[in-house]
Structure 1
């Protein structure tokens, strides 16, 4: 299972954050993005067409966002067009949307800036009263990203440990090599029987792809809530999948389901 496909969509998280910012602050526009290798590209917007803002690619010290990136602190300008404390790399996008005053808060995870969230007004003036809300939303996004990172680390560790702890693939490969070298037909037959997978007691494909995804995450030790977050499912839906899985495999617990699915070669 690919960790990148299991992780919830981080861009969707930023999109929800922009809507929350507008709702809490009453400002005209909110937008933001996550850090790539060397820059932060705007990937979500609320109150303005994304295509008008997605060409904003922030680098340290460039623009208002670059200033927040370097300092690690939220900042704002009350009259964007005349602000002297920032570079004006993105005037075409910001002023083109009629944004007169602009605030930005960095998304900081483990002391690293992972993204930026902006709130803008189409009227010049103080944004001091909106800074607390903007900062809270950025902090909430940072906490969620931190949780997702921890889950990724845990799943990856369990996947690696499973490979280390399970000698079966290496053992089967060794027995297959011995079977190929032996000149005794009876020994070759017995070895072939040893390395052959056990015949399934349920039809192949007894679990749907989604059920296998759920059960795989159970095997990695994730809770129902974590599984739901990974697969964009509610906890109720996860429980429903698990009940169906246990019924199909004729077991009574999620742990037994993992064991049985592995025995049948379904995981």
Structure 2
């Protein structure tokens, strides 16, 4: 896992726990648990609806049990009768059966094709685990996959910034690329991450550090900054529109409104003025 950023990278387990609670609330699933994978071992750290302590902190090895098999296969696996299932090993029968669990679904959280975490949903009845409940667990795994991927990418880009702070050779152009990519990631990121991504982009641009950037200085909307960041990289309006999932006419509109606020006449003057005000790097 990537090194944590104190600003962006909250504990991944907290995001996992939030998804378990979401499934419990929307799907009425009585037992939910999961955790992060460290090397080839899953550590169950988050849970909902457990009656015993057997599954709490349990270490599940790859290829062992239903979760280990799902981890290796990289896809959801389920059994409707855990006690008698012949398709899995029974290394963890003690803690599973002590919970009265009979029907189980295990879903891996994949990041770049590798299992990063596991989610489990379970019933204490023999009804197959499927329908809306199964869809919710799979959807939660996908949401976590995207969130972890974005966090990893941001961590990678922050390491570039840290290299510059430590005296490494990182060019202004690289900083501008990182800034533009952070703002681009914010466009498609889950809502809880959007503000943090934009805040990180602002740290790269040094927003507010210009002596003349006090009260009365130009304030651009997030989308205006998104467009200017792409233009600053040399993108045409059409290219900026494609990257930001906007129409070219919308990009032009944002550029016009930014120019009005900045008191500039061309897109290049707008980029130059925005840089002087430390709105973009």
TM over 0.5, yes or no? yes
1:44 and 1:50 in contact (8 A); partners too: no
Of 138, 145, 148, the residue aligned with 2:148 is 145
- In structure 2, the CA distance between the partners of 1:19 and 1:152, relative to structure 1 (3 Å rule), is same
2:30 and 2:49 in contact (8 A); partners too: yes
Cα deviation for residue 28 of structure 1 reads 0.7
Query: 2: CA distance between counterparts of 1:50 and 1:157?
Result: 46
Of 100, 107, 110, the residue aligned with 1:98 is 100
* Greater C-alpha radius of gyration: 1
- In structure 2, the CA distance between the partners of 1:118 and 1:3, relative to structure 1 (3 Å rule), is closer
- After alignment, is 123-132 or 60-69 more displaced? 123-132
2:210 and 2:276 in contact (8 A); partners too: no
Task: Give 1:65's aligned residue.
Answer: 67
Query: 2: CA distance between counterparts of 1:32 and 1:5?
Result: 24
Q: Match of 1:133, SS?
A: helix
Unaligned segments of structure 1, at least 5 residues: 167-219, 260-267
Task: Give 1:81's aligned residue.
Answer: 83
Question: 1:3-27 CA distances to partner (integer Å, 9 max, x unpaired)?
Answer: 4433121000110111122223222
Query: 2: CA distance between counterparts of 1:50 and 1:35?
Result: 22
Task: Give 1:5's aligned residue.
Answer: 6
Task: Give 2:110's aligned residue.
Answer: 108
2:210 and 2:277 in contact (8 A); partners too: no
- After alignment, is 124-133 or 66-75 more displaced? 124-133
Give the aligned length.
201
2:210 and 2:278 in contact (8 A); partners too: no
2:52 and 2:99 in contact (8 A); partners too: no
**So what's the TM-score if we normalise by structure 2?**
0.60
Q: Match of 1:54, SS?
A: coil
Task: Give 2:35's aligned residue.
Answer: 33
Cα deviation for residue 103 of structure 1 reads 0.5
- In structure 2, the CA distance between the partners of 1:247 and 1:106, relative to structure 1 (3 Å rule), is closer
Unaligned segments of structure 2, at least 5 residues: 171-177, 219-273
User: Once superposed, what is the RMSD of the aligned Cα atoms?
Assistant: 3.7
**1:68-217 to 2 correspondences below 5 Å:** 68-129=70-131, 130-162=133-165, 163-165=167-169
* Higher percent of residues as helix: 1
Cα deviation for residue 257 of structure 1 reads 8.4
Of 53, 56, 70, the residue aligned with 1:54 is 56
Q: Match of 2:35, SS?
A: strand
